[in-house]
């Protein structure tokens, strides 16, 4: 193995660099808790190899490491800031390594395609949405406006609605969020009503948006009741998980899993939508979620992450092999670490 790596390191072709990077990547991620020194060395190798790879090779590598929590931040930034948005897309959407500072720098300087990928992240701070609202095109605004994991400052929310007057699809996307406060929901619906009085805008979709917004608020109340029922043990978690997963309600599902497991909603949502299934598998096993419910979660993940999950049977088999006691112990450690952090 070492001889092969040395041989690849001596070659300068794009294919050799690609194979070297993938070989070293396999070795690096084999260790679940790499040291700071190994992270540094791996980062140096990756940063030296990337400029020698063509777009297809860079994208393949980026897609492979996008959601890895141990990816060196320097490498994550290099991939997320790649001029080709297809290389950057999954890293911008999924990487837990990128900080607000990293995302802000990219959002201020890169293309609309880069901004669209950022707008799809499971959680976005007010600082980042302020930039997206100012720089984004209508597609970016519609995406971030409908992203329930995106937080908005009062200034950012007002700016979003202001720009939404130019494209009614933007306030419609905001209207169906289930996390709107009553005050913000009222402002959005009032704006939609105003836009509906324009001769150029059909009033019917506005009425439809109002109906959907009411349904979204009802769903928010429903989730609160579901959590209460689980605590009172009048409802089993499998039924709740299957219902929310089959309805593709990722944010609501993460709320339920967070409450049940004692972790933060942001952490639950990130684990749910990571490409690596091991995190959500551990969390669900620790809650003694059944196989049918976990299969429903795998279906949601396939839809949300835009890949056909051909390994469902293997994922379910591996899920069955997770020891329940070990899973509960692992979740206790995760809760302790979260409290310390």
In a domain, 111, yes or no: no
Name residues whose C-beta falls within 8 Å of residue 153's C-beta, 6 or more positions apart in sequence.
126, 129, 130
Q: Are residues 284 and 182 in the same domain?
A: no
How many CB atoms within 10 Å of residue 285?
21
Q: Are residues 223 and 126 in the same domain?
A: yes
Phi-psi region of 200 (alpha: psi -120 to 50; beta: other; left: phi over 0): alpha
Place 84 in a pLDDT band, splitting at 50, 70 and 90: very high
In a domain, 108, yes or no: no
Domain span at residue 157 reads 121-231
In a domain, 105, yes or no: no
In a domain, 109, yes or no: no
Task: Record the tokens describing residue 78, joined without a space.
Answer: 């290099």
Q: Are residues 14 and 81 in the same domain?
A: yes
DSSP 8-state code for residue 35: -
Predicted TM-score of the model (pTM):
0.65
pLDDT digits over 29-54, tens only? 877 788 889 889 899 989 988 998 99
Note the Cα 182 to chain centre separation in Å. Answer: 26
Q: Are residues 216 and 244 in the same domain?
A: no
Q: Are residues 280 and 198 in the same domain?
A: no
SS3 category, 150 = strand
Domain count, the chain: 3
Q: Are residues 245 and 221 in the same domain?
A: no
Mean pLDDT estimate for the chain: 83
Q: Are residues 227 and 273 in the same domain?
A: no
pLDDT digits over 191-240, tens only? 888 877 343 444 444 455 556 556 666 777 788 898 899 999 999 999 99
């Amino acid at each position: 193995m070492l001889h092969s790596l040395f041989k690849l390191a001596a070659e300068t072709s794009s294919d050799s660099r690609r194979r070297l990077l993938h070989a070293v990547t396999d070795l690096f991620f084999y260790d679940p808790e790499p040291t700071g020194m190994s992270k540094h060395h791996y980062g140096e190798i990756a940063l030296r190899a990337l400029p020698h790879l063509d777009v297809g090779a860079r994208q393949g590598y980026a897609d492979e490491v996008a959601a890895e929590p141990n990816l060196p931040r320097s490498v994550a930034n290099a991939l997320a800031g790649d001029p080709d948005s297809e290389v950057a897309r999954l890293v911008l959407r999924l990487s837990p390594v990128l900080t607000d500072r990293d995302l802000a720098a990219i959002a201020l300087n890169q293309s609309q395609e880069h901004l669209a990928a950022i707008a799809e992240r499971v959680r976005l701070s007010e600082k980042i949405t302020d930039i997206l609202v100012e720089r984004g095109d209508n597609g970016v605004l519609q995406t971030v406006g409908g992203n329930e994991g995106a937080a908005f400052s009062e200034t950012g929310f007002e700016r979003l609605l202001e720009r939404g007057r130019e494209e009614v699809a933007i306030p419609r996307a905001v209207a169906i969020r289930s996390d709107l406060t009553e005050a913000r929901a009222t402002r959005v619906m009032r704006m939609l009503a105003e836009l509906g009085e324009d001769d150029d805008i059909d009033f019917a979709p506005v009425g439809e948006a109002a109906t959907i917004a009411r349904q979204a608020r009802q769903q928010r109340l429903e989730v609160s009741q579901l959590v209460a029922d689980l605590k009172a043990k009048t409802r089993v978690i499998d039924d709740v998980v299957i219902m929310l997963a089959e309805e593709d309600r990722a944010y609501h599902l993460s709320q339920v899993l967070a409450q049940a497991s004692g972790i933060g909603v942001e952490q639950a949502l990130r684990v749910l939508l990571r490409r690596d299934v091991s995190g959500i598998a551990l969390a669900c096993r620790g809650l003694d979620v059944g196989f049918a419910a976990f299969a429903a979660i795998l279906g949601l993940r396939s839809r949300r992450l835009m890949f056909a999950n051909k390994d469902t049977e293997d994922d379910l088999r591996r899920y069955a092999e997770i020891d329940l006691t070990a899973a509960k112990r692992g979740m206790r450690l995760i809760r302790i670490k979260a409290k310390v952090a």
